[in-house]
Amino acid sequence: MNHEPQIAIEVEDLTVAYHHNPVLWDIDLSIPEGVISAIVGPNGAGKSTLIKAMLRLVPISSGTVTFFGRPLDEMRRSVAYVPQRSEVDWDFPTTVHDVVMMGSYGALGWIRKPGRREREKAMSALEKVGMVEFANRQISELSGGQQQRTFIARALVQDANILLMDEPFAGVDAATEQAILAVLRDLQQAGKTLVIVHHDLLTVKSYFDHVILLNVHTIADGPIERTFTEENLERAYKGKFSAMKGRIDESVV
């Protein structure tokens, strides 16, 4: 692991519009390999849309996105996506173990069925997120935090180098938040690059080492110390930030 950090994700001139309204406008940014990066910005800034656009889940009007210098289609095995919990129907008839096993489908490719190897991989991923005892649980019976950990376990099974996560800390209790954070730190230790849409400004400094400040445009992106500044936050949140400032100062120290 003793090589120069490369650029894991490079976004150039990315523009996304829904029905002629720009949601993301001329985004340029680069995320170095091995960081835990937060995408931060006010509501409607296009945070979720940014990772969806990177993954071509929403149509882009212009621009390019590359992963380690290559287009997504050549890098699908290396990229995993953890959507927001609310994006799927948790009433779907299936178990936790089964959902986690879906992480192996990409490597299996079309038609081939998962076997013992895939089942074991799913179990070991469940172990990493502390969900082994829930393996056979129907997914409709999970709490928010358990749903989130199930999704993360599925991403672990994908064994990707780059993980893009949409609000993994939303609506989970404090203990689960710490458990998820520990898993993310392990992933970083293993050399993975993590990009996380995050809403809680109070924890940005302690959880992340890289940040992307977004508000339709890229306000700033780079290492936390240099980028997560009062001035940049003020520009991203346009005055709404002053109200929150006091609390942030306390937590940042």
Partner 1 sequence: MSLLYDLFFDYTLRNVALGTLLLGLGSGAIGSFMTLRGESLIGDAIAHATLPGVVLAYLLTSTKDPLLLLSGAAIAGILGIGAIMGLTRTTKIDSDGANGIILSIFFGFGLLLLTYIQKLPDASQAGLDRFIFGQAATIVASDVALIAIVQGVVLLTLILFFKELKSSTFDPQSTTVMGFNRKIIDAIFATLLVAVIVTGLQTVGVILISALLVTPAAAARQWTHSLKTMVILSSLFSGISGMVGSLISATEMNLPTGPIIVLVLTAIVVISLLFGSRRGLVIKKVSQYRRQGHFDERRILLALDELSRSHDQRGLYHSHHTISLLVGERHSMRRLLAKLVKEGAILKEGDAYLLSKQGEATVASLALEEVHHDR
Instruction: Give the binding site for partner 1 (CB under 8 A).
Output: 19, 52, 55-57, 76-77, 79-83, 87-89, 92-95, 99, 102, 105-106, 108-111, 113-114, 138, 140, 154, 158, 175
Closest distance to partner 1 from the beta carbon of 207 (Å): 22
Cβ proximity to partner 1: between 78 and 215 the closer is: 78
Closest distance to partner 1 from the beta carbon of 170 (Å): 17
Count Cβ atoms within 10 A of the Cβ of residue 175 and give its class: 0-12 exposed, 13-18 middle, 19 or more buried: exposed
Cβ proximity to partner 1: between 158 and 232 the closer is: 158
The conformation of residue 192, written as its DSSP 8-state character, comes to -
Q: Tell me how far CA of residue 27 lies from CA of 151, 211, 220, in angstroms.
A: 28, 14, 10
Closest distance to partner 1 from the beta carbon of 106 (Å): 3
The conformation of residue 95, written as its DSSP 8-state character, comes to B
Cβ neighbors of 245 (< 8 A, separation 6 or more) are 230
The H or E element spanning position 215 is strand 210-215
Cβ proximity to partner 1: between 30 and 84 the closer is: 84
Matching residue, tokens 């995050």: 198
Cβ proximity to partner 1: between 19 and 116 the closer is: 19
Q: Tell me how far CA of residue 90 lies from CA of 77, 138, 140, 168, in angstroms.
A: 26, 9, 5, 16
Cβ proximity to partner 1: between 48 and 232 the closer is: 48
Helices (H) and strands (E) in the chain, counts: 11, 9
Closest distance to partner 1 from the beta carbon of 180 (Å): 16
Cβ proximity to partner 1: between 146 and 158 the closer is: 158
Bridge partners, residue 12, by sequence: 64
Closest distance to partner 1 from the beta carbon of 163 (Å): 11
Closest distance to partner 1 from the beta carbon of 75 (Å): 10
Cβ proximity of 92 and 139 under 8 Å: yes
